[in-house]
Amino acid sequence: MRSCKPILLVDDDDDVRELVTMVLEVEGYVVESAESGFVALDRLRSLEPSVILLDMNMPGMNGWEFAHSYRAQAGPYAPVVVFTGGHVGSDVVQQIDADAFVTKPFDLNDLLAVVGRYAARTDGGALAATISALGHMDSAAKVTPAARALASR
């Protein structure tokens, strides 16, 4: 398992939620999904995600409204990654105080890189990632079994 805290995926498209959940779970992440901004806000009452992947164009409560409501609550806040189609750029990221964006259609490697970067910052995963990276060094480097066990948590 890569992350102690789940990733919250907020997207109204069932197929996108299913695909992204499958990809992230194969990579060792725990994923909670929500089909709307309303459902996501409700889930956040009992969930402390490591990252929020947020579609901007959803019926009901769109990504802008969700982000505004989320940031109006008491922190701390999970990193928000805008995850949407169309021409999303740094202006949208700034408008909602997001941390990054991935455009649809997306490259799986780009998605995994962004998720990995922000998940590691929020839940101690940076230590595990560092220890894991040490395990990939050449045979001259020694990594203890205890360090390896910590990295695999």
pLDDT at 52: 96
CA angle 20, 2, 116 (to 5 degrees): 60
pLDDT at 113: 93
pLDDT at 90: 64
**Total-model pTM:** 0.74
pLDDT at 55: 92
**Residues with Cβ < 8 Å from 6, sequence gap 6 or more?**
29, 30, 31, 32, 47, 49, 50
Sign of CA pseudo-dihedral 14, 108, 55, 49: positive
Give the strands of the sheet with 80-85, arranged side by side: 31-34, 7-10, 51-54, 80-85, 100-104
pLDDT string in tens for the chain (153-residue length): 555 789 999 999 999 999 999 999 999 999 999 999 999 999 999 999 999 999 988 999 999 899 999 999 888 899 999 887 766 666 677 778 888 888 888 888 999 999 999 886 554 444 444 344 444 433 333 444 544 444 444
Q: Give, as one character, the DSSP assignment of residue 152.
A: T
Domain annotation for the chain: domains and CATH numbers: 7-122 (3.40.50.2300), 125-153 (no CATH)
pLDDT at 93: 72
Question: What are the Cα distances from residue 42, in Å, to 2, 47, 51, 70?
Answer: 25, 9, 16, 10
